């Protein structure tokens, strides 16, 4: 009776306690099926999945846990970012392609690097032997032997569970039972030591942020030294050649922010457009006034054949005056050619008369029939 009451109290205590936040990292070689596994757990169709570039973050609810899974890309160039997520992870899901026997050595080396990392050692690890539905897939015992899983787990003091599965056989409620079983095992082992793991996660995260800040300051200091050295060399070179020293560019702190409210930008553009329109209108008015002044010039100022000799004397004086900018007058347009002013085209010559410059046709005399003739032959 006493044990029954104790169990009921423990169950009620667990039921009332808030959901625990857990962060998991899912790693493995490229094309191992990590994204398909995450999508199947989330309830999406795991088929036709594109390779992960970088990482993807998935949030889901598993019982009393609010789980965040970081699906990290498995390419060789992307594996370097895995260590940035180890500090905030409570556990690891390592996905293995059971059908890719040729890369099993690469898989073992990659798993060894993950489990030996100081921010992963000691945390629970779930190994999913994926693609069991394909022909030639390695069995559970063969994977343990080829990966030297027992040795790696014992050396790094990690709780480990391996589950053969196939991520493409179902999703949501119909997801592979081995995947669901392995995930429940991982969350239950995290829950057993949740306070200690959470404290370690907070400590590792604070240390990593401090290291990142230190690296950021060191990079900024290196950049500053390189810039000062380059400016010193340029200054010495300018002094040797006798060139003026260029002024240093303003610091980023003193530079105005390029991000301004859109209303200010619109008002500035409207002012510029208004000034431009005003300038165009003033220019048009000045050109029209100049045209009117030219139209009112006296006839004496125009040079004619009679006063060409007298006008040549005043040409030098007029050239000394300030010249105005010429504008194209409206009367300077090109008028179409008038047909009546054009010289008359020569008419088409008439055709030559018939028989002109052609040989005459000789006419043959008319031939009379033989026989009775008006002239007698024998009457002489």
What residues contact 286, with CB distance under 8 A and at least 6 apart? 327
> Does the annotation flag 311 for ligand binding?
no
Maximal CA-CA distance, the chain: 189
> Does the annotation flag 32 for ligand binding?
yes
> Does the annotation flag 28 for ligand binding?
yes
> Does the annotation flag 23 for ligand binding?
no
> Does the annotation flag 303 for ligand binding?
no
> Does the annotation flag 133 for ligand binding?
yes
> Does the annotation flag 189 for ligand binding?
no
Which ranges in 67-116 belong to alpha helices (H)?
104-115
Strands of the sheet containing 20-27, edge to edge, are 55-62, 65-72, 20-27, 91-97, 125-130, 160-164
Q: Are 147 and 125 in contact (CB under 8 A)?
A: no
> Does the annotation flag 132 for ligand binding?
yes
Listed residue (190, 172, 208) closest to 126, CA to CA: 190
Cα–Cα distance, 149 to 161 (Å, whole number): 10
Listed residue (328, 321, 322, 323) closest to 288, CA to CA: 328
> Does the annotation flag 75 for ligand binding?
no
> Does the annotation flag 31 for ligand binding?
yes
- End-to-end C-alpha distance for the chain, whole angstroms: 189
Binding region for GTP: 28-35, 74, 130-133
Q: Which residues are annotated as a binding site?
A: 28-35, 52, 74, 130-133
Q: Which residues are annotated as a binding site for Mg(2+)?
A: 35, 52
């Amino acid at each position: 009776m006493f044990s029954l009451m104790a169990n009921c109290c423990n169950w009620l205590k667990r039921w009332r306690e808030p959901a625990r936040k857990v962060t998991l990292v899912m790693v493995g070689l490229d094309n191992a099926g990590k994204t398909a596994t995450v999508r199947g757990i989330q309830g999406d169709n795991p088929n036709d999945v594109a390779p992960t570039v970088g990482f993807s973050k998935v949030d889901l609810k598993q019982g009393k846990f609010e789980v965040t899974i970081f699906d990290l890309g498995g390419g060789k160039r992307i594996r370097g970012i895995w260590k940035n997520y180890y500090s905030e992870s409570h556990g690891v899901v390592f996905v293995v392609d059971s059908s890719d026997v040729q890369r099993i050595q690469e898989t073992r080396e990659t798993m060894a690097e993950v489990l030996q990392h100081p921010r992963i050692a000691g945390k629970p690890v779930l190994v999913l032997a994926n693609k069991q539905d394909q022909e030639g897939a390695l069995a559970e015992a063969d994977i343990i032997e080829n990966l030297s899983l027992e040795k790696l787990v014992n050396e790094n003091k990690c709780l480990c569970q391996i589950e053969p599965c196939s991520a493409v056989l179902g999703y949501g409620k119909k997801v592979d039972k081995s995947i669901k079983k392995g995930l429940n095992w991982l969350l239950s082992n995290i829950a057993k030591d949740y306070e200690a793991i959470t404290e370690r996660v907070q400590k590792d995260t604070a240390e990593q942020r401090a290291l990142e800040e230190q690296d950021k300051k060191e990079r900024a200091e290196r950049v500053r030294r390189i810039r000062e050295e380059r400016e010193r060399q340029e200054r010495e070179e300018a002094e040797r050649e006798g060139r003026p020293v260029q002024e240093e560019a303003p610091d980023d702190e003193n530079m105005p922010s390029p991000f301004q409210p859109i209303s200010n930008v619109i008002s500035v553009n409207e002012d510029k457009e208004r000034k431009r329109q005003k300038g165009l209108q003033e220019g048009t008015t000045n050109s029209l006034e100049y045209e009117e002044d030219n139209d009112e010039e006296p006839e004496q100022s125009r040079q004619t054949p009679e006063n060409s000799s007298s006008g040549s004397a005043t040409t030098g004086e007029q050239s000394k005056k300030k010249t105005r900018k010429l504008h194209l007058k409206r009367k300077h347009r090109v008028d179409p050619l008038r047909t009546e002013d054009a010289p008359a085209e020569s008419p088409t010559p008439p055709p030559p008369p018939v028989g002109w410059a052609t040989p005459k046709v000789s006419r043959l005399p008319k031939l009379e029939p033989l026989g009775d003739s008006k002239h007698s032959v024998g009457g002489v």
